[in-house]
């Protein structure tokens, strides 16, 4: 059995990792860390895991993690970078769900995350964990930087268009909505139900931390600079990302449906819906799936792509497990055959 550790086992992504990993046929959850709950049984804090795990929370220290084959960091930004190097030196693979290793330019990372990077030498070694683009590199990786939820939905929607060069890469627009769980589990007024319920709003319009990550990924696909307007919104639901993406077609006669179907025909976790479909976040809730629909309104020069994921699964923990499977030579969808919850 593969021994895994989860650093940060009490946040939403950490809890979601536990939900997925305790039923993975090739995995044994060996270590779960928490600074505030050391000594408590994991299933006491999360009764939904009773009968699946016998571990107690331990401190996030190297000595506790040495027994692992793989360590997941489900932590806030700025934590994985302090432990990753020592784990890698011990031959332990690292999968980071935070942003510590996503950006290839350390100066850009420091600009957006407001602190000095503790191990910039590891950034080049890290593989960006979007399997639909980097599958081969992930298979040989020891350090994987899992994409954010906004970047996952946005990149998967724009990917076929930019790969084939059928849109103007200088006028991309991403209008993206997220459920409240995307803000994390820490108590904050802005995430209270009385604050988010019956309301809908944009935020960080002048610049969101995921913007440079999305831009970096899209430029890697397009092999040229792109200009993206990215506007995130907070919606009164718990889970889900809905991205409405706009681009200007260079050739309005392009068969967009065929383009998307061909690009994703072999992708287990990307589902291109039939023409005229409108994907909903609740159709992928609890699953590791991205559902896409592509439109060419009124036959003009605009293409509209709709992309939905569960921000805690394909946007975080599920994608991390998908990466683990690739890194360890397992079947990519092992432990992830999850059907979306409905209603």
Structure confidence by residue, pLDDT tens digits, 263-304: 999 999 999 999 999 999 999 999 999 999 999 999 899 999
Lowest-confidence region among 190-204, 225-239, 263-277:
190-204
Model pLDDT, residue 181: 76
Burial-class residue 51 by CB neighbours within 10 Å (0-12, 13-18, 19+).
Answer: exposed
Q: What is the average per-residue pLDDT within 110-123?
A: 95
Q: What is the average per-residue pLDDT within 230-234?
A: 96
* Mean per-residue pLDDT of the chain: 95
DSSP 142: S
Model pLDDT, residue 199: 77
Domains of the chain: 2-125 (3.40.50.720), 149-311 (3.30.360.10)
Model pLDDT, residue 341: 87
Q: How confident is residue 189, by pLDDT bands cut at 50, 70 and 90? A: low
Model pLDDT, residue 98: 97
Q: How confident is residue 94, by pLDDT bands cut at 50, 70 and 90? A: very high
Model pLDDT, residue 183: 61
Model pLDDT, residue 188: 66
Name the residues annotated as catalytic: 149
Tens-digit pLDDT profile for residues 29-82: 999 999 999 999 999 999 999 999 999 999 999 999 999 999 999 999 999 999
DSSP 47: G
Strand order in the sheet with 241-248: 201-202, 228-234, 172-178, 241-248, 302-309, 290-295, 270-272
Q: Is the pLDDT of residue 185 over 90?
A: no
Question: Could you tell me if 279 and 126 are in contact, meaning their C-beta atoms sit under 8 angstroms apart?
Answer: no
Model pLDDT, residue 342: 83
Bridge partners (DSSP) of residue 202 are 233
Half-sphere exposure in the Cβ direction for 141 (13 Å, CA): 30
Lowest-confidence region among 167-181, 192-206, 242-256:
192-206
> What's the CA gap between 216 and 103, in Å, rounded?
8
Model pLDDT, residue 230: 98
Q: Is the pLDDT of residue 245 over 60?
A: yes
Model pLDDT, residue 70: 98
Model pLDDT, residue 190: 62
Question: Could you tell me if 292 and 306 are in contact, meaning their C-beta atoms sit under 8 angstroms apart?
Answer: yes
Q: What is the average per-residue pLDDT within 209-219?
A: 97
């Amino acid at each position: 059995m593969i021994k895994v550790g989860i650093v940060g086992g009490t946040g939403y992504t950490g809890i979601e990792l536990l939900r997925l990993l305790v039923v993975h046929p090739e995995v044994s959850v060996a270590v779960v860390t928490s600074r505030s709950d050391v000594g408590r049984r994991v299933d006491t804090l999360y009764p939904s895991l009773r009968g699946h795990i016998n571990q107690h929370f331990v401190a996030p220290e190297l000595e506790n993690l040495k027994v692992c084959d793989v360590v997941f960091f489900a932590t806030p930004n700025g934590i994985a970078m302090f432990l990753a190097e020592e784990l890698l030196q011990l031959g332990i693979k690292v999968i980071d769900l935070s942003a510590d290793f996503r950006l290839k330019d350390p100066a850009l990372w420091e600009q957006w995350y407001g602190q000095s990077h503790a191990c910039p030498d590891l950034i080049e070694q890290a593989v960006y964990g979007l399997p639909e683009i980097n599958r081969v590199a992930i298979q040989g990786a020891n350090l994987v930087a899992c994409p954010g939820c906004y970047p996952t939905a946005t990149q998967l929607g724009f990917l076929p268009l930019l790969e084939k060069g059928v849109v103007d890469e200088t006028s991309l627009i991403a209008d993206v909505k997220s459920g409240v769980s995307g803000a994390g589990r820490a108590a904050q007024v802005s995430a209270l139900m009385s604050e988010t319920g019956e309301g809908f709003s944009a935020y960080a319009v002048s610049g969101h931390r995921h913007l440079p990550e999305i831009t970096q990924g899209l430029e890697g696909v397009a092999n040229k600079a792109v200009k993206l307007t990215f506007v995130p919104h907070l919606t009164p639901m718990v889970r889900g990302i809905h991205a409405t993406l706009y681009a200007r077609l260079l050739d309005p006669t392009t068969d967009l449906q065929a383009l998307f179907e061909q690009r994703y025909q072999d992708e287990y976790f990307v589902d291109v819906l039939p023409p005229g479909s409108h994907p909903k976040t609740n159709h992928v809730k609890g699953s590791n799936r991205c559902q896409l629909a592509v439109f060419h309104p009124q036959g003009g020069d605009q293409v509209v792509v709709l992309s939905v994921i569960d921000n805690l699964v394909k946007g975080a923990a599920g994608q991390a497990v998908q990466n683990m499977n690739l890194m360890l030579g397992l079947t990519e969808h092992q432990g992830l055959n999850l059907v979306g919850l409905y209603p």
